[in-house]
Every structure is written in C-alpha cells, then in structure tokens.
Amino acid sequence: MKTIYCLILGLALFLVYQPCSHGAFNEQMAVDTRAIALTNSCTADPPGLMSAHYNPAGLSQLDDGKFLSQGFVFPFIERTGKFKEDPDFEGFMEGTWGPNAPYNPDDPLSAHGGPDPLRDTEGTNNRNRMYIPFYGPVDMLVGANLGVSSKKKDSKWTFAYTNYAPYGGGMAHREGDDPMRFGCKALYLQHLIYAAPTASYQLSDTLSVGVSIGMGQTAIGMEIDQRTPNELVAMTRVIGDATKDLEIPVVSEQTLPPPFLGGGLGPYEYNTRLQMDLRDDFTPSFNLGLLWKPRSWFSFGICYQSQTKADLTGTYKFEYSEQFQQQVSWNGLTDMTVQNAGMLNLPIKGVPSQHGTATGTQYFPQRVQTGIMLKPTSKLKLLFDLHWADWSVAKEDRFVCDQDIQLFQIAKLLGYTGGNRSMVVKREMEDTWHWSVGIEYQLLDKLCLRAGYERRPTSARNDLWDALYFVPDMEFFGAGVGLKLPKNMSLDISFGYLCNDSHKIDNNQSSNMNSTDFTQIVYNPYAGLDYEQELYLYIASFAITMPLEVQAEMLHHQMQMMEHTIHSVKKLVNKINPFHKGDAT
C-alpha cells in the first residue's frame, strides 16, 4: 500500500511541476477511438485490441474467445500562417528590397527592388494530405485500424493481430497566392503499422506481460515553391542591373557578357520548385508492456516502444525558373566563364528541371509511457499517464540525390555546406516529456462516458522552426462514449480537439525560416518577416468490436440477402421480357 501512495504522490508532483523540456511532436494523435477520448491516458487500462500499441500486456484483459475490432479515424488539420514586416529590418542592399523600399505596382514580385510582397499576408491550408499504400498521395486524411484476437478458456496466453498508424499528418496549401507555399506547399509524413502480431502472458492473477512486433511502412512527401531573400542573392540582381548595358564589342563575347550573372536573382522572386516522394516499405519495430493490477481499484502499466529507422528511397524533381536557368547558362557563354565555372564546380547549362532517385533516413524515437488507474467507486475510473520520447535522435533531415543539383551547386557560393547532391536541414529536436489525464464514468449498464486532457509541448525548436515541422505546443481535449450492444458487441465513439491559438517566430529567430544571415542559405524563405501560426486539429472516430462468430453470422446473412436479391431480379427480368425463354442470367 505504501508503494501505491508513493506512485500517486510522485505523479501528482509531476502534474504540478512540468520539467523544462520539450514534448510530443506528432505521435499517437489518432490511433484508437477510446484512447482519443481519454487523450492517450490508457497505459494502465489499455484499449482492447489496440493494447498492441499502448501496452501489449493489456490483451490479457480481453474476454475468452475470438474477437474482431474495426475502427476509423477522421482527422482534419487547419493551419494559418500570418506574416508581418519587422519594422527594425533594414532590408537588402541598403534598403533596395525591404520595408522602406518604394512599392512598384508594375513589379509585384519585387524583382528590381521594393517591399516584400508577402508582408501583411496570411495563408490557410485548403486540404489535408496522406499517402495510401499501393496508390500514392491523396488530398485527405483518414485512418483505420483492424484487430483480431484469440484467447482460449483458462489459458494464460492471448494472441492478436492488428494494424494502425502511430504517426501521421499532412496538409496542402494549393491556392496560388498562399504565402505558405514557400515553406510548405504540400506535405505528408506518416508511419503505418500494416502488421503487428501481438501476444500477452498472464504471469499471475495480478501481473501480465506482452510483446508486439510491428512491420510498417514509412512515407514522406513534400512540395515547396522556393525563393531566396538573402543579401548576396540581392547583390546578384544589383550586379545584373548595373551591367545590363555594359556591352564591349568582341571583348564582352570573349570575357564577361552582359548582363553579368545572367541578370542575377531577385531576393523575393520564385526561382525553384521542389517535389519529393520517398518511402520505406519495411520498417520493423516492437513494443513491450507490463500490467500490474493488485487491487480491483488500482492498476499500474508501463510500455516501451522501440526506435524505428526508415531507409527511404523515392523520386525527386527540381523545376527552375527562366531567370535561374539564365543565370546558370551565363556560366557557359564564354571560355572565361566556363573556366571560372570549372574551378568552382558550377553548372554551365541551365535546364528546366532535374529529376531522379533520392534516398534519406527518417527516425521515429523510442518511447516509454507509464500510468496508473484509480477506481474510487464502482462506476468511476481516473487515469494518469506520463510519456517520454527520444526525439533527440532527429538531428537533421538529409536527402541525397543521384546527381549534382544545380540549386545546391549555386548555393554553395553563398555558404551552403551540404554538398552538390544533398539537401540538409538541421533539426536538433529535443527529448519529450508530457502528461495526460483521463476519466471514465459508467453512467448506465450499457453506457460509458469518457473525457481527457493532454498537454503536448512541441519538440521542435524555435531557432530551427520551419513550415514543414509545423506542430507547436498543443492542448488536447477528448470526449467520447462507449456503448454495449447485443451479442457481446460494443461501439465506441469519440471526438478530439487539439489547438494552439498563437505560436510566434520573430524575424531572425529561426535559421530554417526567417534568418537574415546571408550564410544561412538553405532555407530561409521569410527573412525579414515576423511569423505567427494558428493550428487546430479536429478528430472524429468510431470503432466496433464483436465476437468473430457474430461477424461470420452477419456475413452469412448478407450473402443470403444478396442471393435473395439476385433471385428476385431474375424473376422480374423473366416477367417483363416476353421474348425471353428460359431463366434470366
């Protein structure tokens, strides 16, 4: 009993004092219907067949026999990004581009000077995005989980097979003038467990252990319109404008033809579009769980989820603007420019696009979640959980292409150190700690009410923030009901709401978003701008669980109905067709 009191006291102190650390990124937002209602507070009271994820030892709590569970989750992500000029930003090239530059309505892209056209704008995604195995990316979000369990009477073993998606999310900003398109025009990142054989063993009347082996698929895809608001990029345009009339007969054609650098690039103009789709069709993982229930009113659970490493392979495509192609082609116009390009390993012929095969590595962290269940009355359950995840394993995003990429070759002149074939974005994410609470009340014999709250501080750092890793601090509210149906069936319905009303990244705060340091060339599309983000996630989910023989009986009745319908149609065809002899087919 003293041990139980210590556990309760320690948990209470943690809820009052949250450590100074970062929390959940995008894990287990929409895995199981009951867990959504309880905001993932279920390690000590696992949710049926989805115990495979939350605590495999929980399978021992299932009834004898064979059961089937099918659930669906319908999330919708709504993100709005707002951009404001930083009044203290002096602009590029002594104010030629920036807050104090005169606005030229005939040059909305500010290619020859002027304020940032993204100032005082905002954008909201108009759809969500996910990857469907064997089909490809689609502009929607939906999750499904399926489980089958088997437990013989008086056996200490329980076996199950499940599939589900522990990580996932994506969105698309498809409107042509949406300013978010320069940070994330479209994105999906997901990890699907397509097969998870699971087993639990009851060591005693109070203690169970379990293991689940996951075989999964990881998929990531992105589309970004790119621009480069940078002092050195602006300088190339200044040089190009200053030399456009510097034509010296014969000499120019042998040395440096005007305009120099092909006219250069404006810091606010579109120059490149990136598309990338990669996946790993076999990413194994495992979960270990323990469940201890010494009293009917108390239980303790702990679950370890292994790290998952995905070795991704897929396709990429870089599309270049005409101005970018012109700048590259300038390197090959004369013997002098070709020699200079050779010494610097620069491309000499601009191309509309480059495409091929890319590889990368994606890590999903090892996690530990633990919790207790208290039952002060016969109808009331109180659930408390702690969650830790090793997000510090995500040091960087690195995607390696199968050829030299002209964008990277040019970028290295401006300080990019990732190489000619690699896109490297620093992440340095931090380990996660967060807590959650849930309540379950048996209002009637066949009706159970649920609710929960989870505090999810982000593991993405503000100084490395960008529009791809978009999940800030979130508050998760859940609610739902559980219904007992005839023939030992049950129906769960839940709703979840995650929100962050304001997450701000001030100008020059993030080296992945709005740094004005000219050496931070990949990637700062919003240099000179303050950024504020609103993020809301709405979740609706339902799941039905039934004995396998009931499912077989339902299928049998459906087949009989189909046969009866076909027979009725045949009789009707024979009746209305006087020229037909014999039975209709």
* Phi/psi of residue 88, nearest 5 degrees: -90, -5
Rounded average pLDDT over 299-320: 97
Least confident span in 21-25, 38-42, 397-401: 21-25
pLDDT at position 2? 42
Strand (E) or helix (H) holding 163: strand 157-172
For residue 12, pLDDT beyond 80: no
Q: Grade residue 4 by pLDDT with cuts at 50, 70 and 90.
A: very low
Q: Does the pLDDT value for residue 17 go beyond 80?
A: no
User: In the Cβ-directed half-sphere of 249, how many Cα atoms lie within 13 Å?
Assistant: 0
Across-strand partners of 534? 80
Quote the distance between the C-alpha of residue 326 and its chain's center.
Answer: 36
Residue 25 has pLDDT above 60, yes or no: no
Which of 260-264, 313-317, 545-549, 557-561 is predicted most confidently? Answer: 313-317
pLDDT band at 571 (very low <50, low <70, confident <90, very high): confident
> Considering only 478-492, 526-540, 564-578, which range has the smallest mean pLDDT?
564-578
Q: Residue 485: pLDDT above 50?
A: yes
Looking at residue 257, its pLDDT comes to 92
- Model pLDDT, residue 23: 32
Evaluate if residue 539 carries a pLDDT over 50: yes
Element (DSSP H or E) covering residue 148: strand 143-151
Q: What percent of the chain has pLDDT over 90?
A: 74
Predicted local distance difference test score (pLDDT) of residue 21? 29
Tokens 């969650």 appear where? 387
Q: Is the pLDDT of residue 284 over 70?
A: yes
Mean pLDDT of 516-525: 84
What is residue 24's predicted lDDT score, i.e. its pLDDT?
Answer: 40
Q: Within a domain: residue 95?
A: yes
* pLDDT level of residue 50 (50, 70, 90 thresholds): very high
Half-sphere exposure of 566 (CA within 13 A, CB side): 8
Q: What is the pLDDT of residue 550?
A: 82
- CA torsion angle for 201, 30, 429, 453 (degrees, to 10)? -90
pLDDT of residue 20: 32
pLDDT at 290: 98
| 334: in domain | yes
- CA gyration radius for the chain? 29
What domain range is 567 assigned to? Answer: 18-576
Q: Residue 580 has what pLDDT?
A: 54
Mean predicted confidence (pLDDT) in 458-483: 91
At residue 380, the pLDDT reads 97
Per-residue pLDDT, 556: 63
**What is the number of domains present in the chain?**
1
Asked if the structure places residue 175 within a domain, the reply is yes
**What percentage of residues in the chain have a pLDDT greater than 70?**
91
Q: Compute the average pLDDT of residues 226-232.
A: 92
Which of 277, 273, 275, 411 lies closest to 352, judged by CA?
273
Total-model pTM: 0.87
Least confident interval from 97-101, 202-206, 368-372? 97-101
pLDDT at 566: 79
| pLDDT mean over 352-363 | 96
Beta bridge pairs of residue 368: 304, 388
Residue 279 maps to which CATH number?
A: 2.40.160.60
Question: Does residue 501 come out as left (phi exceeding 0), alpha (psi in the -120 to 50 range) or beta?
Answer: alpha
Q: What is the mean pLDDT of residues 383-408?
A: 94
Distance CA 118, CA 86 (A): 12
Residues shown for the chain: 585
Whether 354 is in a domain gets the answer yes
Is 91 a member of any domain?
yes
Local confidence band at 13 (pLDDT 50, 70, 90 cut-offs): very low
pLDDT of residue 577: 64
User: Chain-wide mean pLDDT for the chain?
Assistant: 89
Identify the band that residue 245 occupies on the pLDDT scale cut at 50, 70 and 90: confident
